[in-house]
Structure 1
Amino acid sequence: MSEQRAGSDRPRISAVITTFNEEHNVKGCIESLLWCDEVIVVDSFSTDRTPELAQSYEKVRFFQRRYLGSASQKNWGMDQTLHEWILIFDADERCTPELQREIEATIRDPKGGEAFIIKRRVYFMDRVIRFSGWQHDRVVRLVLKGAGRYPNKRVHTDMKTRTRPRLLRNYMLHYMIESFDQYLPRIVKYGFWGAGQGWKTGKRSGFFQVFGRTLWRFLRMYVFQLGILDGMPGLVFCMLQAFGTYLKWAILWEWRQNAARGRQPALPEFDEEEETWAWEPGEPGAPTASIT
């Protein structure tokens, strides 16, 4: 029997937000999710005002946990939830009233499914990105508790679900890049994480990866996926994404060169136990679908 919110005919829902130094984002994200029955904030020991701001909301349950990877943080946050449904957001994302109403209607239907994809409308410096492939950005973020899990990777990972997720109609808003000073440290961090994932999986890096993959990322987004139609913001956005690709492969190349000389790289700290998590095919609860 589903747990229902008092005075409401819908099941209860928990929101999970992961944060690190998100003082410019966290209030907007939390306020867009206050319609949920609880908001879990898992913070990686922020050094700015993120903890203070997050804890100023009565509905927020605030935790601090050493950062051991995006998937590890999200999985841990999901484990702290008290309610039947889980909605996962990053601090730079916002839930719209239209999406809220659709989610509430969706979880009222006991036969509606147990995992749902939400489309993201990406903003770059207050401009919507309408091309470059990001217009199709979508992620699994609404799930019945126990019906999905993040397999641990060092960079962005997609939730695995035990049934095929359904697509919701409305969008969340993703304020991906607000300024260079805010985004550049993040893209460097992603570069190290991506290189760490490549190192762990035994990938090599050389001219083709550093130059070829960088060039292809830019051409694919800007030319073939029509980023050029987003004007100057589209050019800058596509170049930033290509720069992120360059960093990942260049860092991995440096690490391989150093390893050949007997100097092992200082890999980003990671949750190795969580790395081994997996449902085996055919086991109860085994994931059958994922989506980027």
Structure 2
Amino acid sequence: MQKLTAIIPTGNEIHNIEAVIASVDFADEILVVDSLSTDGTFEKAQELATKVIQRDYVYSASQKNWAIPQAKHQWVLLVDADERVTPELKAEIIAILSSPKQEHTAYWIGRINYFMGERVNYSGWKNDVVIRLFKRDHCVYEDKQVHAEMIVDGTLGTLKHKLTHNTFVTFDKFIVKMNRYAWWQAKDYDKKTGRLTPYHFVIKPFWGFFKHYVVQSGFRDGVVGLTISTMQAYGIFMRYVKIWLLRRGRE
């Protein structure tokens, strides 16, 4: 079996750290990259992980691109603190790394998402996939503040089994997260967004809601789907409000 480093980025994840480390216990190295946590995450990670390093958090792609070259082994499995590797996914990864020759440079892994304690089956999250198993020296995240994709020098495969993703802690914290993402998106979108008009503040948020709730069948997820669709519209609206503020020096 090819040796594997599991990278886990953290920031005040004391409620997740033990379970996520346990889910990657098959890795030869468990590397926790902590963003100066103050809730005991760093100390607990030191007890359980192979190695823990710290760096002030700027944005996700920056943090991960800093961490990836520090992996000891060529193959890397990157797992966020609110994600879990299932036993089925673990077995599939072991089978790939045990093969005499790996067919691909990186692999897409699907995610089963949970929000407010309920599984999300629609609402635009049905086909959620991320590149998380990859060769260290052939992959890098694009330099974007939010939703950066991985740039892969080589071929991509897709695993059959999925990560579980518990994206919700409390509703208040989710709102804080949405506002933080809106600021980061504003910085990404500012240069490519022309003059702000009612199209940005009204039409785009409305379309965001309609797409998630109607086109992507969010209504079939009940209250959870309605909440996700509404928050997507809110996030789009706040993105342009924050661009408006940025342009007036009111960040």
TM-score by length of structure 1 reads: 0.81
Q: Does 1:128 align with 2:124?
A: no
* 1:235-270 Cα distance to aligned partner (Å, 9 max, x none): 1122122211221111112222x1xxxxx354xxxx
Deviations along 1:266-287, one digit per CA (max 9) or x if unpaired, are 4xxxxxxxxxxxxxxxxxxxxx
Distance in 1 separating the partners of 2:195 and 2:143? 21
- What displacement does 1:75 show? 1.2
CA distance in 1, matches of 2:179, 2:37: 18
Distance 1:39 1:207, change over 3 A: same
What code does the residue aligned with 1:199 have? D
Written as runs of structure 1 = structure 2, the 5 A alignment for 1:181-220 is 181-201=172-192, 203-220=194-211
Amino acid of the structure 1 residue aligned with 2:90: Q
Q: Of the candidates 7, 10, 19, which is equivalent to residue 16 of structure 1? A: 7
Q: Which position in structure 1 is the counterpart of 2:78?
A: 88
- Could you tell me which residue of structure 2 aligns to residue 75 of structure 1? 65
Aligned counterparts of 2:170 and 2:145: Cα–Cα separation in 1: 24
Q: Aligned-pair distance for 1:77?
A: 1.0
Residue deviations 1:114-141, cap 9 Å, x none? 2100001110112111011201000111
Gaps of 5+ in 2: none
| Equivalent position SS for 2:47 | coil
Tell me the residue number matched to 1:235: 226
* 1:149-175 CA distance string (max 9 Å, x none): 111111121111012311100010111
Contact 1:206 1:253 in 2 (8 A): no
Alignment deviations for residues 13-55 of structure 1 (CA, whole Å, 9 cap, x no partner): 0011111122222222111112111111111112222212211
State the secondary structure of the residue aligned to 1:152: coil
Q: Name the CA distance, whole Å, in 2 between partners of 1:31 and 1:174.
A: 15
Runs of 4+ that moved beyond 4 A: 200-204
Q: Give the CA deviation at 1:61.
A: 1.0
Q: Does 1:39 align with 2:14?
A: no
SS at match of 2:147: coil
* Corresponding pairs, count: 250
Q: Aligned partners of 1:79, 1:201: CA distance in 2, in Å?
A: 31
Determine whether 1:53 maps to 2:52: no
Deviates more, 1:77-86 or 1:64-73: 64-73
Inter-partner Cα distance in structure 1 for 2:193 and 2:116: 36
Change in 2 beyond 3 A, CA 1:62/1:223: same
Per the alignment, in what secondary structure is the counterpart of residue 95 of structure 2? helix
Q: Distance in 2 between matches of 1:223 and 1:120?
A: 22
CA separation in 2, counterparts of 1:75 and 1:108?
26
Distance verdict in 2 for CA 1:204–1:35, change over 3 Å: farther
